[in-house]
Amino acid sequence: MQTQRLRIAIQKKGRLSKECQDLLKRCGVKFNMVGERLVVHAENMPIDLLLVRDDDIPGLIMDGVVDLGVIGENELEEVALERTARNEPNEYLKLRRLDFGGCRLSIAINKDDAYNGPQDLQGKRIATTYPQLVKRYMDEQGVKFSTCMLNGSVEVAPRAGLADAICDLVSTGATLEANGLKEAEVILRSKAVLIQCTNPLSDEKQALIERLLTRMQGVIQAKESKYIMLHAPTERLDQIKALLPGAEDPTVLPLSQDNNRVAVHLVSSENLFWETMEQLKELGASSILVLPIEKMME
């Protein structure tokens, strides 16, 4: 069912929801999350946000029920494999990887078990929420195994005697450690991604998606960049530029009171570390300012 308004499915509550809402707001989409609504209308653009469990997002896209979705690659790939196995529609377009939701899907074993490679998992039972991704990995390795499907508390399965190993999402590894487990194999590195359904959309919707993408690029790039200003001795300009990431084309301005020094302004592609600032100072730079950038468009 096509609607005039662009429909974007996002996670209602969980690890992706805050950053996802922040990203849309920074892209200029105005909305107000109130109560337990399933659909939230943007106030200033023809966009509706659909707030759902993350498990539902890939299917909503693959069935063409919503136009865009934000989802972790782990969930997206698991659902795509599951649908392939069931002969259901499994197509989507990946528009861009986002800068949040980073984690890895890893196989972990008891911390005292020896581990020399995937063949050590031969015949083991692996507890997981991602049976399809585990199967794809184990098939690639040519290792036979069995699964124990769990939707929560996967990390306690070995201790509870339900499985020999687990395959679960890890970010710091603290949960594994707390449960007496160690990471044996990383089978997928995941981030949140923006996906689109493959149904052709109206020209208006497609144009709106292009605009959102350009803005997202600007927002993400701005977050990773800094505006740097400093005063430098003219004779050391080249050495100073060499220390600054992305300083191929800085703005160099004369200083009204000083003929031997100039003001240098530039957008750096990364943050400036204290060590670099100290080196700049040693080269005679002064008044060094590192400022955050809110938006950029090239």
How far is Cα 139 from Cα 1, in angstroms, rounded to an integer? 39
Minimum distance from residue 66 beta carbon to Mg ion (Å): 17
Task: Pick one of Mg ion, ligand ATP, none as the site partner of residue 15 (Cβ within 5 to 8 A by kind).
Answer: ligand ATP
**Nearest approach, Cβ of residue 81 and ligand ATP (Å):** 15
- The minimum distance between CB 33 and ligand ATP, in angstroms, equals 15
Burial class (CB in 10 A: 0-12, 13-18, 19+), 172: exposed
Q: What angle do CA 188, 191, 195 make, to 5 degrees?
A: 110
What value, to the nearest 5°, has the Cα angle with vertex 217 and ends 272 and 30? 110
Residue 23 CB, nearest approach to ligand ATP (Å): 14
Interface residues toward ligand ATP, by CB under 6 A: 11, 14-16, 53-55, 72, 74-75, 101, 103, 169, 171, 190
Give the separation between CA 149 and CA 62, rounded to whole angstroms: 24
Q: Which pair of tokens denotes residue 225?
A: 């960049």
Binding partner of 11, given ligand ATP, Mg ion, none, CB within 5-8 angstroms per partner class: ligand ATP
List the single partner that 26 binds among Mg ion, ligand ATP, none, CB under 5 to 8 Å by kind. Answer: none
Q: How far apart are alpha carbons 262 and 289 in whole angstroms? A: 14
With CB under 5 to 8 Å by kind, the binding choice for 171 among ligand ATP, Mg ion, none is ligand ATP
Q: Pick from ligand ATP, Mg ion, none: which does 72 bind, CB < 5 to 8 A by kind?
A: ligand ATP
Q: Which is nearer to ligand ATP, 5 or 15 (CB)?
A: 15
Contact 150, 100 (CB under 8 A): no
> Which candidate, 237, 238, 128, places its Cα nearest to that of 185?
128
Comparison of 90 and 190: residue with beta carbon closer to ligand ATP: 190
Considering the complex, state which of residue 55 and residue 63 has its C-beta at the smaller distance from Mg ion: 55
For ligand ATP, which is the closer residue by CB, 11 or 225? Answer: 11
Cβ at position 160, least distance to ligand ATP in Å:
20
Site residues for Mg ion per CB under 5 A = 54-55
Nearer to ligand ATP, 51 or 240 (CB): 51
55 secondary structure, DSSP code:
G
User: Which lies closer to ligand ATP via its Cβ, residue 6 or residue 176?
Assistant: 176
Taking CB positions, which residue lies at the least distance from ligand ATP?
72
Report, in Å, the least distance between residue 160 CB and Mg ion.
Answer: 22
Residues 6+ apart with CB under 8 A from 171: 102, 103, 104
Q: With CB cut-offs between 5 and 8 Å by kind, which of ligand ATP, Mg ion, none does residue 106 bind?
A: none
- Write down the least CB distance from residue 244 to ligand ATP, Å: 33
- Taking the least distance from each CB to Mg ion, the nearer of 11 and 276 is 11
> What is the DSSP code (8-state) at residue 233?
E
* Main-chain phi, psi angles of 82, to 5 degrees: -60, -45
CA atoms of 196 and 47, how far apart (whole Å): 14
Residues 156, 179 contacting (CB under 8 angstroms) = yes
Taking the complex as a whole, the smallest distance from the CB of residue 54 to Mg ion amounts, in Å, to 4
Rounded Cα–Cα distance for residues 222 and 191 (Å): 19
